[in-house]
Amino acid sequence: MTRRHLLQKQVPADRKPLKSASASNMADDEIILSELSDEELVQQMHDDLYDGLKEEIEEGTNILLERGWAPYKVLTEALVEGMRIVGEDFRDGILFVPEVLLSANAMKAGMFILRPLLVATGAPKQGKMVIGTVKGDIHDIGKNLVGMMMEGAGFDVIDLGINNAVEKYLDAIEQHQPDIIGMSALLTTTMPYMKVVIDTMKEKGIRDDYVVLVGGAPLNQEFGKAVGADAYCRDAAVAVETAKDFMKRKHNVRVS
Amino acid sequence: MNAPAAEVTEHASRRGGGRLGRKALRGTPMASFPTLVRNIPAYQMVPDEAVELIHQESLSILEEVGCEFRDDEAIALWKAAGADVSETRVRIDRALLMELVSKVPPEFMLNARNPERSVRVGGKNSIFVPMYGAPYVRDLDNVRRYGTLADLQNFHKLAYMAPALHSSSSIICEPMEIAVPKRHLHIIHSALKHSDKPFMGIVTSKDRAEDTMAMAGIVFGEDFVRDNPVLVAITNCNSPLVWDATMLDAMKVYARHNQPLILAPFALCGASTSASAVGAVAQVNAEALAGVAFTQLLRPGSPQIYGQFMVTVDMKTGAPMGGTPEAAQMMYLMGALARKYRLPWRTSGFHVGSKLNDAQAGYEANMLMHAAILAGANYIWHSAGWLEAGLTCGYSKFATDCEQLVGWYKYAGGLPFDDFKEAMAAIREVGPQGHFLGTQHTLEHFQSAFFMPSIMDFNSYEQWKAEGAKDHDTRGREKARNMLADYEEPKLDEGIADGLKDLIALREEKLPDSVS
Ligand code: B1M
């Protein structure tokens, strides 16, 4: 666990102090996760997510499961809650993109363990998104950020990459049965293609089965509406919030 | 170097002087500066060995990692040239690469439809070119909204009128109301109609590039545009190390017509390159050289522009930044490499990240332009209008940038010594105590001796207050408004004008109304 120790030392003084970097821990850097109480372990996992420690998150996830925690409880209380903190500090400019990427990777590793168990126990789905840059467009830095933040929030993300014709989206919908379709465009000459995709979904009678989110710097709210998307997302954090909202609504509909 | 005197509008008055005469002399002159001949040394920030090191590393990248060329014809050309090709990956041996690069002429003439506005690019010769690609405008009422054809026409008019701009660019802002498949026709038409300066080509598809060449052919003559540069087109490498089909298609059309391309990885340093200024330059240098070399397979000896500039990424959001110290430092490296290869070099000048034409914009612009000039850039792009990392073109920013360009034109022209003797005579004439405001020397030289901006304000506080206490941004908008009111369209032969209209009509009939 020297890596964690190293990372803690690197955190500048003006950053949010890490819980695990408290005086007692600083003196004794060896933390044995399995010796922590549930509550301490969850706190530690929030810190480990914050620091992007993948192996520690895997270990923590397994320990909680071994202690009989329901997979859904592990997901929401340890992982999603931890990533909520990460998201908040990213929004506030305390955490930077490469650090969030690390956190999201750690989260993904936890999710990898939980996914089959969540399905088996019939836990509410966090959600699945297919995302891609539309035909004619190769800009993908923004889309990649969105995908990463969505994964960080516990979503399954299927990344179709760049330059996607409508068939690619349709194939992916059929194959992966997502909840959300995400489209990105950075060119004014390619953004109208979003309408082609949405119109084709309408023609096939499947438009209303999915939530369609769009984004990219030259888009705006009105454009999103005009092409028939459910929402325009101005950045990755908004995309996550919006996706969560729609998933919540979906679950509510199912329950009622 | 001094700004050339304004063309004097002829007018009939009693003796030709007086108030009217002076007004004509000082009014809004339709003047255009010739090519900027940089008469100051290029500044090299690092020792020769460092430049050599980066060069060697770039060559190793192309030999060991290679570069993607995602197009069958391009791959066939590389194979025929003897490169090591596997699928779309091309590994280029350094001897082959440098042999191809050395075929590019160090300078070329860029022809304008008005021969007086033709310019040279390369070596000591530099030009200023307004921005490209903005979906949004910040308009004359300071409102941010999507661009329209009317806005684009306005920017082409302003580009025509600004003495220190040497080109009208093309898509200064995007005319969003026009259907995408037909848009390029109207963009090029506006540039050719509203200005007589050189312009830029469209690259978003092969057909659009061909349409651009057809329109240029009507204006310059079909034969002429087969061999003589009349436009410049920008093709971006998709860093890291990918030249994609769209760009390669455009390269084929333009290079085969001997039209220069800007081979430009517009990389976001830290996202599309390593987070190291020197590492990033080694990478984009490899990308640019691979692109330049490819054009020489298409047409050996065709003029090309080594194209990079770079911005860093804001690690808080992933967004591109603008006038940062690293962006400026990287320019010095690129400039040194361009000189080593004897290639005309494009960088950008006023490409700021600021949302408004405010103090941030000013700081950023100055950081960047100073480096562009001292690093010896030849094609200084995004030199008017650019805000928000290229998402917005501002009318005020456009006007104030153009005013600053007059200053930079003078700065780069070097320090003239031609009146040194007269200046020394003037001090003898005035002697101790007096002042120089009324001497013959001052009268003769005051107009050209100092930069005389009209948007920047150096008045007394009282005067400034009496004139409405307006900030620089507001005065910039007013200037743009006034310039547009004074605009007169440059003459275009009627046959040519009709030819363009006919071609547009013909193409519009064939092209669909929406993307598919
Ligand atoms: C749920 O779904 C969602 C939700 C939210 C979503 C979402 C999807 N997608 C995005 N979001 C949102 O969340 C993200 C994170 O917060 C945000 O994503 P963004 O992508 O906005 O933000 C990123 C984090 C950072 N931003 C970016 O990565 C884009 C930056 C700019 C500078 C840009 C870049 C970097 C590039 N480019 Co391009 N490029 C520009 C851009 C100007 C700008 N200021 O935006 C723009 C978009 N490009 C432009 C142009 C002209 C071009 N580019 C081209 C190429 C490139 C590069 C390859 C050099 C590079 C892309 C590298 C890459 N791998 O992506 C060419 C086209 C290539 C093609 N076929 O697509 C080329 C045509 C240039 C050429 N002649 O070669 C201009 C648009 C022109 C227009 N009017 O349409 C442009 C505005 C710059 C300019 N002024 O010239 C949000 O928008």
- Give A186 Cα–ligand 1 centroid separation in angstroms: 4
Co-location of A195 and A102 in the same domain: no
In this structure, is residue B10 part of a structural domain?
Answer: no
Residues B210 and B257 sit within 8 Å (Cβ to Cβ): no
Residues B298 and B260 sit within 8 Å (Cβ to Cβ): no
In this structure, is residue B39 part of a structural domain?
Answer: no
- Alpha carbon distance B95, B413 (integer Å): 37
The partner residue sitting opposite A96, judged by closest CB among B268, B272, B316, is B316
Give the closest-approach CA distance of A95 to chain B in angstroms.
Answer: 7
- Alpha carbon distance A64, A36 (integer Å): 11
Co-location of A143 and A83 in the same domain: no
Co-location of A143 and A186 in the same domain: yes
Q: Going residue by residue through chain B (516 aa), what tens digit of pLDDT does each one get?
A: 344 444 434 444 566 678 777 776 665 455 799 999 999 999 999 999 999 999 999 999 999 999 999 999 999 999 999 999 999 999 999 999 999 999 999 999 999 999 999 999 999 999 999 999 999 999 999 999 999 999 999 999 999 999 999 999 999 999 999 999 999 999 999 999 999 999 999 999 999 999 999 999 999 999 999 999 999 999 999 999 999 999 999 999 999 999 999 998 889 999 999 999 999 999 999 999 999 999 999 999 999 999 988 899 999 999 999 999 999 999 999 999 999 999 999 999 999 999 999 999 999 999 999 999 999 999 999 999 999 999 999 999 999 999 999 999 999 999 999 989 999 999 999 999 889 998 888 888 888 889 999 999 999 999 999 999 999 999 999 999 999 999 999 999 999 999 999 999 999 999 999 999
Q: How many CB atoms lie within 10 A of CB B72?
A: 11
Chain B hits for A136, CB-CB cut-off 8 Å, are 204, 246, 515
For the segment B6-32, what is each residue's pLDDT rounded down to a tens digit? 443 444 456 667 877 777 666 545 579
Co-location of A105 and A147 in the same domain: no
Tokens standing for residue B31 = 């003047």
Burial of A78 (0-12, 13-18, 19+ CB in 10 A): buried
What range defines the domain where residue B139 resides?
Answer: 108-412
A239 lines ligand 1 (CB under 6 A): yes
A235 lines ligand 1 (CB under 6 A): yes
Q: Cα–Cα distances in Å, from B409 out to B103, B129, B308?
A: 30, 13, 22
Chain B hits for A195, CB-CB cut-off 8 Å, are 514
Burial of B325 (0-12, 13-18, 19+ CB in 10 A): exposed
In this structure, is residue A9 part of a structural domain?
Answer: no
Chain B hits for A90, CB-CB cut-off 8 Å, are 316
A137 lines ligand 1 (CB under 6 A): yes
- The phi and psi torsions of B387 (rounded to 5 degrees) equal -135, 165
Nearest CA to ligand 1 atom 73: B204
In this structure, is residue B125 part of a structural domain?
Answer: yes
In this structure, is residue A4 part of a structural domain?
Answer: no
Residues A210 and A201 sit within 8 Å (Cβ to Cβ): yes
Structural domains in chain A (count): 2
Ramachandran category for residue B123: left, alpha or beta (phi over 0 → left; psi -120 to 50 → alpha): left
- Residue recorded with tokens 């087969």: B226
Select from A245, A242, A182, A190 the least CA-distant residue to A214.
Answer: A182
DSSP per-residue codes, B14-28: SSS-HHHHHHHHHS-
What range defines the domain where residue A147 resides?
Answer: 124-255
In this structure, is residue B159 part of a structural domain?
Answer: yes
Co-location of A106 and A209 in the same domain: no
Q: Cβ of B316 and A235 within 8 Å?
A: no
In this structure, is residue B239 part of a structural domain?
Answer: yes
Co-location of A98 and A158 in the same domain: no
Tokens standing for residue B392 = 């917005």
pLDDT of residue B265: 87
Residues B365 and B404 sit within 8 Å (Cβ to Cβ): yes
Nearest CA to ligand 1 atom 59: B266
Number of A to B CB contacts under 8 A, please give it: 47
Question: Is the sign of the CA dihedral A19, A21, A22, A27 positive or negative?
Answer: positive
In this structure, is residue A11 part of a structural domain?
Answer: no
In this structure, is residue B91 part of a structural domain?
Answer: no
Pocket test for ligand 1, best of A91, A137, A139 (most atoms within 8 A of CB): A139
In this structure, is residue A140 part of a structural domain?
Answer: yes
Residues A211 and A243 sit within 8 Å (Cβ to Cβ): yes
Atom of ligand 1 nearest to the CA of B265: 59
In this structure, is residue A59 part of a structural domain?
Answer: yes
Question: Is the sign of the CA dihedral A148, A150, A156, A157 positive or negative?
Answer: negative
Of A68, A100, A120, the one marking the end of a domain is A120
- Domain of B301: which CATH number? 3.20.20.480
Co-location of A31 and A103 in the same domain: yes
pLDDT of residue B29: 52
- Alpha carbon distance B139, B134 (integer Å): 12
Structural domains in chain B (count): 1
Co-location of A133 and A224 in the same domain: yes
Nearest CA to ligand 1 atom 20: A142
Interface test with B, best of A97, A188, A197 (most B CBs within 10 A): A188
In this structure, is residue A2 part of a structural domain?
Answer: no
Q: How many CB atoms lie within 10 A of CB B426?
A: 17
pLDDT of residue B60: 98
Give the closest-approach CA distance of B221 to chain A in angstroms.
Answer: 29
Which residues between 221 and 250 in chain A have a beta carbon less than 8 angstroms from any beta carbon of chain B? 235-236
For the segment A213-252, what is each residue's pLDDT rounded down to a tens digit? 999 999 999 999 999 999 999 999 999 999 999 999 988 8
Co-location of A194 and A174 in the same domain: yes
Q: Cα–Cα distances in Å, from B37 out to B40, B408, B410?
A: 9, 12, 10
Bridge partners for A133 per DSSP: A184
Nearest CA to ligand 1 atom 5: A215
In chain B, DSSP finds a helix count (H) and a strand count (E) of: 18, 21
Q: Cβ of A218 and B391 within 8 Å?
A: yes
The partner residue sitting opposite A218, judged by closest CB among B135, B180, B238, is B135
- Alpha carbon distance B194, A99 (integer Å): 50
B273 lines ligand 1 (CB under 6 A): no
Q: Cβ of A145 and B318 within 8 Å?
A: yes
- Residue recorded with tokens 């014809």: B73
Of A63, A85, A120, the one marking the end of a domain is A120
- Domain of A75: which CATH number? 1.10.1240.10
Q: Cβ of A141 and B318 within 8 Å?
A: yes
In sequence order, which residues have a C-beta less than 8 Å from that of residue B388 and are 6 or more positions away?
B136, B353, B354, B355
- Alpha carbon distance B2, B48 (integer Å): 33
Query: What is the pTM assigned to this prediction?
Result: 0.92
DSSP per-residue codes, A133-173: EBTT----HHHHHHHHHHHHTT-EEEE--SSB-HHHHHHHH
Select from B321, B296, B319, B318 the least CA-distant residue to B309.
Answer: B321
Tokens standing for residue B235 = 């093709």
Co-location of A247 and A129 in the same domain: yes
Of A105, A120, A135, the one marking the end of a domain is A120
- Domain of A190: which CATH number? 3.40.50.280
Which residues between 110 and 169 in chain B have a beta carbon less than 8 angstroms from any beta carbon of chain A? 135-136
In sequence order, which residues have a C-beta less than 8 Å from that of residue B342 and are 6 or more positions away?
B102, B104, B106
In this structure, is residue A30 part of a structural domain?
Answer: yes
- Residue recorded with tokens 């050719």: B192
Interface test with A, best of B70, B206, B211, B316 (most A CBs within 10 A): B316
Chain B hits for A196, CB-CB cut-off 8 Å, are 514-516
Co-location of A133 and A84 in the same domain: no
Tokens standing for residue B71 = 């197009």
In this structure, is residue B181 part of a structural domain?
Answer: yes
Give the closest-approach CA distance of B111 to chain A in angstroms.
Answer: 29
Question: Is the sign of the CA dihedral B335, B338, B339, B340 positive or negative?
Answer: positive
DSSP classification of residue B163: T
Chain B hits for A143, CB-CB cut-off 8 Å, are none
Q: Is the CB of B238 inside 8 Å of chain A's CB atoms? A: yes
Co-location of A52 and A158 in the same domain: no
Interface test with A, best of B172, B174, B180 (most A CBs within 10 A): B180
The partner residue sitting opposite B176, judged by closest CB among A93, A98, A188, is A188
In this structure, is residue B29 part of a structural domain?
Answer: no
For the segment B104-162, what is each residue's pLDDT rounded down to a tens digit? 999 999 999 999 999 999 999 999 999 999 999 999 999 999 999 999 999 999 999 99
